[in-house]
Chains A and B, each alone.
Chain A
Amino acid sequence: MAAPTTTPAPARRPGPTRIATPARERRRSPFLVELYRSSVGKKYVMAITGALLMGFVFAHMVGNLKMYLGAAEYDGYADFLRRLLVPILPRTVTLWLMRVGLIAAFALHIHAAYSLTRINHRARAVKYQSRRDYVAATYASRTMRWTGIIITLFLVWHLFDLSWTGTGYRSFYRGAVYENVDASLSRIPVAALYIVANLALGVHLFHGAWSLFQSLGWNNPRFNRWRKWFAYGFSGAVTLGNVSFPIAVLAGVVSR
């Protein structure tokens, strides 16, 4: 008589640790929520919001070049922004709609960055105990978190400085944009802060402008070799323009 056979349950090995809640065990949610739950989806969100912020940063830099045409042109441009689409919508409404979009993009970009960073730290809980020798990673790609934090801190300062209250450079005049810029950036430490922050922005943009293509799955032998050049060109142009402003103010090129 054959002995009764039992199939032993497969031994659960003390295997790899779960670092996130398993996706399959959750209920299906709407497409975008479902996508945002995954890391790959969060990178889509980072790429799309990053591209929007790149659009803003570029337009902002180009707009600021008006400073070289004198106070009237520069202040006129600032006023134009507030009058965008004016008889269709009341004054500043279009500008506010764009600001709301920017704030949303900024918040999503940072939230995705923050949660992915946490996942990544958990994915290597015990770090390498000897020095890594990086082959492909760039200075820019490895400092994204730090340059991102520098830009955000700078942004808060910058909004107080030139949009909200001024930062003690004499009285801040809303709408007297040219005077405000001249007064604030004439202070050497402030000019230095603008330069450092905008270099950090350039480094951040360099990796971002390349990385977004991969995250969005835009990979094609026809244009792949242009992706790095686009990143050089874009981050270079924005940085050059932005860094020129504090230098121009200090050099007296921009002056009341």
Chain B
Amino acid sequence: MASTLNLTLRVWRQDGPDDTGRFDTIEAPGIKDDMSFLEMLDVVNERLIEAGREPITFDHDCREGICGTCSLMIDGQAHGPQRGTATCQLHMRRFADGQTITVEPWRATAFPVIKDLMVDRSALDRIVEAGGYITAETGGAPDANLIPVPKPVADAAFDAAACIQCGACVAACPNGAANLFTAAKVAHLNLLPQGEAERYSRVENMVDVMEDHFGSCTNHGECEAACPKKISIDYIALMNKDYLRAKFKNRRYLSRNP
């Protein structure tokens, strides 16, 4: 049976990219504990609208942990206190009656605040544009299983491909680094035969664009802990290894045709 919680929210309000912003304290009584965190914000927003106040702007879409649109730093943790889930999958039963919950947007120079809790994460798209695809002639649809891939390899590629590009890794990283994101995007193609042809140019281009926008990895491991898909920092080591090889190989084999 659902019980109800009386909560106090400390929410970051910022009118636009150039506003300095501040925390607003908003009372949220009578929140059902089977609501998701986003449903709780919906209820709070309806009350704000009824009271003639500006609702809280926040990002959301699928609300089932697959689109990567929701975000939020909840009590100092990206996607809140629950491991392996996005904010939309976090339920209010994780919180206690009478608790004060602090909600802040994700902070990185590459993620400027648009309004309140909504940030612009398009820098992640720049990284994908630099190599997160395969430029092969696709031709007709090939038969299934025409290219054999060992099961453990397919699994490793799939674990990396689970990335929903939410940016929690950047938000959680004390350095604002996007190494886990980039490593996942590199690995899910580099591990497969289809991605092999562009393996080294991909890792070099994607890492170089990543470094235009984001900080650098110091192996804290916060990204892995925050990732709603539990993507492992093992992929970062893999990316580092491929990057070194790429710098070396590309010079010897590819630098003659720039």
Contacts and interface: CB of A to CB of B under 8 A. Distances in A.
Interface string B207-244: 11101111111111110111000000110111111111
Nearest to A216: B240
Question: Shortest 4 CB-CB distances between A and B: which pairs?
Answer: A217-B241, A123-B215, A219-B237, A133-B76
B177 interface: yes
B12 to A, nearest CB: 7
Nearest to B80: A133
B225 A120 contact: no
Interface of B: 10, 12, 17, 21, 23, 73, 75-77, 81, 102, 104, 107-112, 120, 122-123, 126, 172, 174-177, 205, 207-209, 211-222, 224-226, 233-234, 236-244, 247-248, 251, 255, 258
B112 A224 contact: no
Given A13-B122, A17-B110, A22-B208, A129 B234 contact: no
A176 interface: no
Nearest to A24: B208
A127 B251 CA distance: 39
9 contacts: A14-B17, A19-B109, A19-B214, A22-B212, A28-B251, A38-B207, A39-B215, A123-B213, A136-B224
Contacts of A123: 108-110, 175-177, 213-216
A256 interface: no
Given A28-B251, A207-B219, 15 more contacts: A18-B213, A22-B208, A24-B209, A31-B251, A35-B244, A39-B211, A40-B244, A44-B240, A122-B109, A123-B177, A128-B73, A134-B222, A135-B225, A137-B220, A217-B237
A152 B55 CA distance: 52
Contacts of B12: 129
Contacts of A187: none
Contacts, number: 189
Interface residues of A, number: 56
Contact of B240 (A43, A120, A138): A43
B76 A130 contact: yes
Q: Which of A40, A127, A131 has the largest count of B CB atoms less than 10 A from its CB?
A: A40
Contacts of B238: 217, 219
A215 B240 contact: yes
A122 B110 CA distance: 10
A125 interface: yes
A224 B234 CA distance: 9
Contacts of A17: 109-110, 112, 213
B175 A124 contact: yes
Nearest to A218: B237
B248 to A, nearest CB: 6
B212 A41 contact: no
A214 B120 contact: no
A39 B214 CA distance: 10
Contacts of B112: 14-17
